[in-house]
Amino acid sequence: MSIKVLLINLPQFELGQRLSCVGSESKSRAVLWRKSDELRNEGFEVEIVDAESRALNFFTIVRAIRRRAPEYVLFYQASTCSGSLPSSSKSFVGVLCRHVHERMPGLRLDLLIE
């Protein structure tokens, strides 16, 4: 039986994140597909939730995780062109991880930043 992985493309919060890099949306999708292919090749069952393109809010993301009941969640957050992660994104990811961990303590969580 394969491990269920949920790969979540987190929303961008700052206008600079969205506009500073030309082609950042296509880069995000490419990273998601590459990572999902890598995981599938390793034998994992992978599902992608693109919270950025679907404009999902905090609670909708949490519901998506609970409804899919994965064993592992990998959050993907695109960095800015400078390679840094804005403080608003750090805060969101931190609160989201704490919230999910409190409700699903056995769930493994990780963050991929590229």
Q: Where are the domains of the chain?
A: 4-113
CATH H-level superfamily of 4-113: Cobalamin-binding domain (3.40.50.280)
To the nearest whole number, what is the mean pLDDT of the chain? 82
| Per-residue model confidence (pLDDT) at position 15 | 46
CB proximity list for 23: less than 8 A, separation 6 or greater? none
Would you say 65 and 6 are in contact if contact means Cβ atoms under 8 Å apart?
yes
Q: What does the alpha-carbon distance between residue 19 and residue 22 come to, in Å, rounded to a whole number?
A: 7
Q: What does the alpha-carbon distance between residue 52 and residue 17 come to, in Å, rounded to a whole number?
A: 12
Other C-beta atoms within 10 Å of 24: how many?
18
Q: What is the pTM of this model?
A: 0.81
| Per-residue model confidence (pLDDT) at position 111 | 87
Q: What does the alpha-carbon distance between residue 4 and residue 55 come to, in Å, rounded to a whole number?
A: 24
